[in-house]
Chains A and B, each alone.
Chain A
């Protein structure tokens, strides 16, 4: 248990360092973007006095480090500044868009967990048989080889040419009823879900195959335990760590906004907010959305690393070595 505690503390420390580094990278990368705060707000014809007034208003006359400090302390309190283009606080827009992205993420994630994991276990258990091996390789290979924008476009094509029961690209009201939201998200969630499902099946299959050859499984077989018992007691728990890690990566990716799928299907989520923000050089929006995606990734991964050490204490016993 002491190992687990030490592991947890190390993970938290690493998380803090990574968060700090990430925020610095985002802040300075966004400042390297062409154009400038004042030009975005005032347009190219503004006078020198107007520019100075704007610079003062947005705190651009202060040293960069002070600006960074203001941004980070604000972000921690949920204040991401004001959109340069719409002049509305970024957090207001995010609050409208986050539920859409979260719903989409949950729908896609459930496909990964409910279909991907069992499929991976099954194909992993039968990896040496002809049909099991081929099925596993094909599902995993195809799923990760069809890019989302291809699958999304093809899905749109199919639905638009066949009479459709899903509404597509029609999410005009952000605060619609939950049922409408879910129905509008079925198709994009299926596209995202297929990708997540395939990646999950692939990792699960690999993990199961790795556990199956361990001596303790051989011993269980020698003791005469039934296959079902062996799978439940010896295989699943040991194979769960890499799967957990992958599910964390997928969740973070989905929460950061499935940028491409949201663009293809015209969904007003966090990802499309980032893309429009970039197109309009809206720095405040870009900073906020990218930070959100990165923080989601870092926090979720840390939580899962700690969870992994609880599921499989060997993770913590191996120490900080990864």
Chain B
């Protein structure tokens, strides 16, 4: 006879005791710190200086080896982390502001306004992420501006949808109705009541959008349509590494590992945030 686990458990919100979450936080924090310090004090050397033999394997002098032009990989990687994080974070910030404004108004107003917004969002949503990104890069010309705009356009549809749905739910709560009856002006209702109601959704979706942003930046740069040389980014470094992977595998594996580590830690943080901010019951049936 197999055991039936009848008890319904509420997932405990003790995220700080979750080792996976702690590890993810440390990894992400460390990456940000390293990139920041390297940008202020070039402790690992210059990312553009051609200083050593070409394609030399990792050594004491070049901790991660050198690339095809003889540049040390470590400072390039540090610069790449910074560029990738800044580009994605900027884009997600823009997405968050835009989607919150649109989502709150559309969700609160409902009716034809929300329908119209949703149809526009549907159109954007119909393009696969990387194709939309390539199209944006083709129109604006490859570079950082195009990358940021591409990430915004890719992440906006889902976030508007989620925030509008959440705002619509909050808009029907009693405290909103009572605020309206007592004559609170519309901007105040939106700001004080609806905005705080969508905060959790915003945090969770924002985190996921950040990992999508890093993915899009990586893919776009990998195709040569994103961040342009001589600047480096994680996607660009992976692409370079893929070219020389037989002769110099460290060029591929170092940036690839960093890229995966950052996306993975952001995803873990997003999952934990979601479990914490939108708690739900869990149960096993085995």
A binding-site residues for B, Cβ under 8 Å = 14, 17-18, 21-22, 25-26, 29-30, 32-34, 125-129, 132, 137, 141-142, 144-150, 153-154, 156-157, 160-161, 209-210, 212-213, 217-218, 221, 227, 230-231, 235, 252-253, 256-257, 259-260, 263-264, 274-275, 278, 286, 290, 293-294, 297-298, 322
Contact = CB atoms under 8 A, between A and B. Distances in A.
B123 A212 contact: no
B192 interface: no
A259 B285 contact: no
Contact of A161 (B20, B134, B165, B246): B246
Q: How many B residues touch the partner, as a band?
A: 35 or more
Contact of B263 (A18, A145, A263, A264): A145
Contacts of A213: 8, 280-283
B32 interface: no
A231 B242 contact: no
Given A153-B256, A260-B223, A210 B280 contact: yes
Contacts of B128: 252-253, 256, 259, 293, 297
Contact of A32 (B139, B215, B245): B139
B219 interface: yes
A150 B282 contact: no
Contacts of A212: 282-285
Interface string B202-220: 0000000001000100110
Contacts of B260: 145-147, 150
Contacts of A146: 260, 263
A290 B130 CA distance: 11
Contact of B259 (A25, A147, A257): A147
A157 B212 CA distance: 25
A22 B6 CA distance: 49
A259 B271 CA distance: 28
Interface stretch (B40-48, B52-60, B233-241): B233-241
Contact of A125 (B122, B123, B245, B284): B284
Contacts of A149: 218-219, 222, 235, 238-239, 242
Given A127-B284, A230-B285, A293-B127, A141 B252 contact: no
Nearest to A125: B285
Interface of A is mostly: helix
Nearest to A226: B2
Interface in B117-149: 118-120, 122-123, 126-128, 130-131, 134-135, 138-139, 141
Given A33-B139, A275-B223, A290-B135, A157 B252 contact: yes
Interface string B242-286: 100110010011001001100110011001000000001111111
Nearest to A129: B284
B4 interface: yes
Q: Which of B128, B139, B238 has the most CB of A within 10 A?
A: B128
B121 to A, nearest CB: 10
Given A153-B238, A156-B245, A213-B282, A128 B9 contact: yes
Contacts of B242: 149, 153, 156, 264
A259 B123 contact: no
B243 to A, nearest CB: 9
A298 B44 CA distance: 49
Contacts, number: 162
A152 B2 CA distance: 42
B267 A144 contact: yes
B18 to A, nearest CB: 10
Interface of B is mostly: helix
Nearest to B3: A227
Given A125-B285, A145-B211, A294-B126, A278 B138 contact: yes
Contacts of A278: 134, 138, 225
Given A137-B20, A153-B245, A18 B281 contact: no
B223 to A, nearest CB: 6
B123 A128 contact: no
Contacts of A161: 246
Contacts of A26: 135
B284 A132 contact: yes
Nearest to B165: A322
**Closest 7 A/B residue pairs (Cβ):** A145-B264, A21-B123, A153-B242, A128-B284, A213-B281, A145-B263, A149-B222
A147 B219 contact: yes
B5 interface: yes
A182 B233 CA distance: 35
8 contacts: A18-B126, A141-B264, A157-B245, A157-B246, A161-B246, A209-B282, A227-B4, A286-B138
B173 to A, nearest CB: 17
